[in-house]
Protein backbone atom coordinates (compact mmCIF):
# COMPACT_ATOMS: atom_id res chain seq x y z
CA UNK A 1 0.00 0.00 0.00
CA UNK A 2 0.97 3.65 -0.38
CA UNK A 3 2.20 5.45 2.71
CA UNK A 4 -0.64 5.65 5.25
CA UNK A 5 -2.22 9.04 5.86
CA UNK A 6 -3.47 10.55 9.06
CA UNK A 7 -6.84 12.31 8.72
CA UNK A 8 -9.28 14.12 10.96
CA UNK A 9 -12.78 14.29 9.59
CA UNK A 10 -16.00 15.49 11.13
CA UNK A 11 -18.87 13.09 10.47
CA UNK A 12 -22.35 14.01 11.70
CA UNK A 13 -20.81 16.54 14.13
CA UNK A 14 -18.32 14.08 15.65
CA UNK A 15 -14.57 14.39 14.97
CA UNK A 16 -12.81 11.19 13.96
CA UNK A 17 -9.05 10.66 13.74
CA UNK A 18 -7.88 7.80 11.59
CA UNK A 19 -4.82 6.45 9.81
CA UNK A 20 -5.80 5.12 6.42
CA UNK A 21 -4.49 3.72 3.17
CA UNK A 22 -4.84 6.62 0.70
CA UNK A 23 -6.80 4.47 -1.74
CA UNK A 24 -9.68 4.03 0.71
CA UNK A 25 -12.84 5.59 -0.72
CA UNK A 26 -14.91 7.86 1.50
CA UNK A 27 -17.77 5.34 1.19
CA UNK A 28 -15.60 2.45 2.42
CA UNK A 29 -14.20 4.61 5.22
CA UNK A 30 -17.67 5.56 6.46
CA UNK A 31 -18.93 1.99 6.31
CA UNK A 32 -15.83 -0.02 7.21
CA UNK A 33 -13.96 2.23 9.64
CA UNK A 34 -16.82 4.14 11.25
CA UNK A 35 -19.54 1.49 10.95
CA UNK A 36 -21.91 3.97 9.34
CA UNK A 37 -23.51 1.47 6.99
CA UNK A 38 -26.47 3.71 6.19
CA UNK A 39 -24.42 4.98 3.25
CA UNK A 40 -24.80 2.22 0.69
CA UNK A 41 -22.53 1.27 -2.18
CA UNK A 42 -23.98 0.19 -5.50
CA UNK A 43 -22.19 0.67 -8.78
CA UNK A 44 -19.01 2.12 -7.25
CA UNK A 45 -18.30 4.19 -10.33
CA UNK A 46 -20.46 7.23 -9.80
CA UNK A 47 -23.60 6.29 -11.72
CA UNK A 48 -26.21 5.03 -9.24
CA UNK A 49 -26.15 7.60 -6.43
CA UNK A 50 -26.82 5.29 -3.48
CA UNK A 51 -23.58 6.49 -1.83
CA UNK A 52 -24.39 10.23 -1.94
CA UNK A 53 -23.32 12.05 1.23
CA UNK A 54 -22.82 15.73 2.03
CA UNK A 55 -19.31 17.16 2.18
CA UNK A 56 -19.23 20.76 3.39
CA UNK A 57 -22.95 20.89 2.55
CA UNK A 58 -22.61 19.64 -1.04
CA UNK A 59 -23.91 16.25 -2.17
CA UNK A 60 -21.17 14.07 -3.62
CA UNK A 61 -20.67 10.46 -4.65
CA UNK A 62 -18.71 9.01 -1.74
CA UNK A 63 -17.46 6.21 -4.01
CA UNK A 64 -15.70 8.82 -6.19
CA UNK A 65 -14.02 10.64 -3.35
CA UNK A 66 -11.06 9.38 -1.34
CA UNK A 67 -11.35 9.37 2.44
CA UNK A 68 -8.05 11.27 2.57
CA UNK A 69 -9.75 14.08 0.61
CA UNK A 70 -12.25 14.45 3.45
CA UNK A 71 -9.44 15.45 5.85
CA UNK A 72 -10.57 18.63 7.61
CA UNK A 73 -14.03 18.52 6.03
CA UNK A 74 -17.54 18.26 7.40
CA UNK A 75 -19.30 15.08 6.25
CA UNK A 76 -22.96 14.30 6.80
CA UNK A 77 -24.56 10.92 6.23
CA UNK A 78 -28.09 9.59 6.53
CA UNK A 79 -27.36 8.65 10.17
CA UNK A 80 -27.06 12.38 10.90
CA UNK A 81 -30.56 13.26 9.70
CA UNK A 82 -32.72 12.07 12.62
CA UNK A 83 -32.57 13.78 16.00
CA UNK A 84 -32.47 10.79 18.31
CA UNK A 85 -35.77 8.98 17.87
CA UNK A 86 -37.30 11.91 16.01
CA UNK A 87 -37.11 11.47 12.26
CA UNK A 88 -36.00 14.33 10.03
CA UNK A 89 -38.85 15.92 8.02
CA UNK A 90 -37.35 14.40 4.86
CA UNK A 91 -37.54 10.94 6.43
CA UNK A 92 -41.11 11.54 7.64
CA UNK A 93 -42.09 12.70 4.15
CA UNK A 94 -40.62 9.57 2.54
CA UNK A 95 -42.69 7.43 4.96
CA UNK A 96 -45.91 9.34 4.37
CA UNK A 97 -45.60 9.52 0.60
CA UNK A 98 -44.26 5.98 0.09
CA UNK A 99 -41.01 7.42 -1.25
CA UNK A 100 -39.32 4.04 -0.92
CA UNK A 101 -40.00 0.39 -1.42
CA UNK A 102 -36.86 -1.72 -0.99
CA UNK A 103 -35.01 1.25 0.49
CA UNK A 104 -31.57 0.52 -0.94
CA UNK A 105 -31.34 3.83 -2.83
CA UNK A 106 -33.07 5.90 -0.13
CA UNK A 107 -30.06 7.22 1.85
CA UNK A 108 -28.50 8.62 -1.35
CA UNK A 109 -31.75 10.30 -2.36
CA UNK A 110 -32.24 11.79 1.10
CA UNK A 111 -28.79 13.35 1.27
CA UNK A 112 -29.15 14.96 -2.18
CA UNK A 113 -32.60 16.22 -1.21
CA UNK A 114 -31.17 17.55 2.05
CA UNK A 115 -28.69 19.67 0.05
CA UNK A 116 -31.44 20.82 -2.31
CA UNK A 117 -33.81 21.97 0.44
CA UNK A 118 -31.07 23.67 2.45
CA UNK A 119 -30.07 25.72 -0.58
CA UNK A 120 -33.47 26.13 -2.14
CA UNK A 121 -36.35 25.76 0.37
CA UNK A 122 -39.06 26.03 -2.30
CA UNK A 123 -37.83 24.15 -5.39
CA UNK A 124 -39.87 23.79 -8.57
CA UNK A 125 -40.70 20.28 -9.80
CA UNK A 126 -38.07 20.74 -12.48
CA UNK A 127 -35.44 21.58 -9.88
CA UNK A 128 -36.47 18.57 -7.79
CA UNK A 129 -36.29 16.25 -10.79
CA UNK A 130 -32.83 17.53 -11.71
CA UNK A 131 -31.60 16.45 -8.28
CA UNK A 132 -33.45 13.14 -7.93
CA UNK A 133 -32.38 12.28 -11.49
CA UNK A 134 -28.90 11.91 -10.01
CA UNK A 135 -29.95 8.74 -8.19
CA UNK A 136 -31.31 5.52 -9.60
CA UNK A 137 -34.44 4.00 -8.03
CA UNK A 138 -35.80 0.83 -9.58
CA UNK A 139 -38.87 0.47 -7.32
CA UNK A 140 -40.87 3.67 -7.15
CA UNK A 141 -40.85 5.17 -10.63
CA UNK A 142 -39.91 8.46 -8.93
CA UNK A 143 -43.44 9.87 -8.63
CA UNK A 144 -43.65 9.15 -4.93
CA UNK A 145 -40.13 10.52 -4.42
CA UNK A 146 -41.15 13.76 -6.14
CA UNK A 147 -44.16 13.94 -3.79
CA UNK A 148 -41.89 13.19 -0.82
CA UNK A 149 -39.68 16.16 -1.66
CA UNK A 150 -42.68 18.48 -2.04
CA UNK A 151 -44.01 17.27 1.32
CA UNK A 152 -40.61 17.61 2.98
CA UNK A 153 -40.31 21.17 1.66
CA UNK A 154 -43.73 21.98 3.15
CA UNK A 155 -42.78 20.42 6.50
CA UNK A 156 -39.58 22.44 6.57
CA UNK A 157 -41.66 25.54 5.98
CA UNK A 158 -40.19 26.60 2.67
CA UNK A 159 -42.82 25.58 0.16
CA UNK A 160 -45.62 27.78 -1.16
CA UNK A 161 -48.87 26.69 0.46
Interacting residue ranges for other proteins, rule: CB under 8 A: 1-3, 5, 21-25, 28, 44-46, 49, 52, 58-61, 63-66, 68-69, 112, 115, 130-131, 133-134
User: Strand 74-76 and strand 5-11: pairing?
Assistant: parallel
How far is residue 85's CA from residue 83's CA, in Å, rounded to a whole number? Answer: 6
Picking from 63, 71, 74, the residue whose alpha carbon sits closest to that of residue 11 is 74
Question: Closer to other proteins at the Cβ: 38 or 92?
Answer: 38
Beta strands in the chain (DSSP E): 5-11, 14-20, 52-55, 58-61, 74-76
Question: Closer to other proteins at the Cβ: 87 or 129?
Answer: 129
**Least separation in angstroms between CB 94 and other proteins:** 18
Q: Is residue 1 classed as helix, strand or coil in its secondary structure?
A: coil
Question: Closer to other proteins at the Cβ: 44 or 92?
Answer: 44
At what angle are helices 89-96 and 143-155 packed, to 10 degrees? 140
**Least separation in angstroms between CB 141 and other proteins:** 14
**Least separation in angstroms between CB 146 and other proteins:** 14
Question: Closer to other proteins at the Cβ: 30 or 65?
Answer: 65
User: Strand 52-55 and strand 58-61: pairing?
Assistant: antiparallel
Question: Closer to other proteins at the Cβ: 57 or 103?
Answer: 57
**Least separation in angstroms between CB 17 and other proteins:** 18
**Least separation in angstroms between CB 45 and other proteins:** 4
Amino acid sequence: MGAAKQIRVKVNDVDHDAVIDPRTSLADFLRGELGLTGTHVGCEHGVCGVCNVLVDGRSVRSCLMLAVQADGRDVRTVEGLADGEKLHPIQEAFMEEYGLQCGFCTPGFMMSICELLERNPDPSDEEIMEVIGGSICRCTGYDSILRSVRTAAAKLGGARA
